[in-house]
C-alpha cells in the first residue's frame, strides 16, 4: 500500500500563473508546473535555501523536496528548449497561515509581522 502523500506548505500563491514565449500563439502545447514544484524552485533557486531548509518550510522530507525539485527542473528545461507555454497550477498543498516557525522570510507575507526563527 503506498504511503499517504503529505500536504505541502506553500508561502503564497504564484503572482503569475502563465508564461508564454514571445511570438508564440497560445496552443495546447504547455508544461504544467504544480504549485509545490514552483515553491521548491522559488525556495532553492530564488531564495537560495538548501533542500533541508526547503523541506522544513514545506513540511515534507528532504528526499521529497529533491524529487519535486528534479521534476520542476525537467519541466522548465522542456519548456525552454521546446518553446512551450508554462502554466502553474494544481498540486497537493495548502497556503501558509502565517504561523510556520520554519519560514525564512523576515516578515510574513500573510500577517505582515516579523517572524521568530527556529534554528
Q: What is the pTM of this model?
A: 0.78
In this structure, what C-alpha cell is assigned to residue 56? Answer: 522544513
Burial of 110 (0-12, 13-18, 19+ CB in 10 A): middle
pLDDT digits 0-9 by tens, 36-63: 999 999 999 999 999 999 999 888 999 9
Closest CA to 85 of 75, 74, 93, 95: 75
Crossing angle for the helix pair 51-58 and 62-82, to the nearest 10 degrees: 100
Confidence category of residue 119, pLDDT binned at 50, 70, 90: very low
Average pLDDT, the chain: 82
Amino acid at each position: 500500500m503506498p504511503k499517504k502523500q503529505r500536504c505541502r506548505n506553500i508561502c503564497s500563491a504564484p503572482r503569475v500563473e502563465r508564461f508564454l514565449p514571445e511570438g508564440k500563439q497560445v496552443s495546447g502545447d504547455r508544461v504544467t508546473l504544480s504549485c509545490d514544484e514552483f515553491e521548491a524552485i522559488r525556495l532553492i533557486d530564488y531564495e537560495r535555501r538548501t533542500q533541508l531548509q526547503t523541506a522544513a518550510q514545506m513540511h515534507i522530507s528532504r528526499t521529497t523536496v529533491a524529487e519535486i525539485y528534479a521534476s520542476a527542473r525537467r519541466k522548465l528545461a522542456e519548456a525552454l528548449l521546446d518553446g512551450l507555454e508554462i502554466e502553474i497550477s494544481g498540486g497537493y498543498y495548502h497556503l501558509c497561515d502565517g504561523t510556520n516557525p520554519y519560514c525564512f522570510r523576515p516578515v510574513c507575507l500573510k500577517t505582515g509581522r516579523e517572524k521568530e526563527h527556529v534554528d
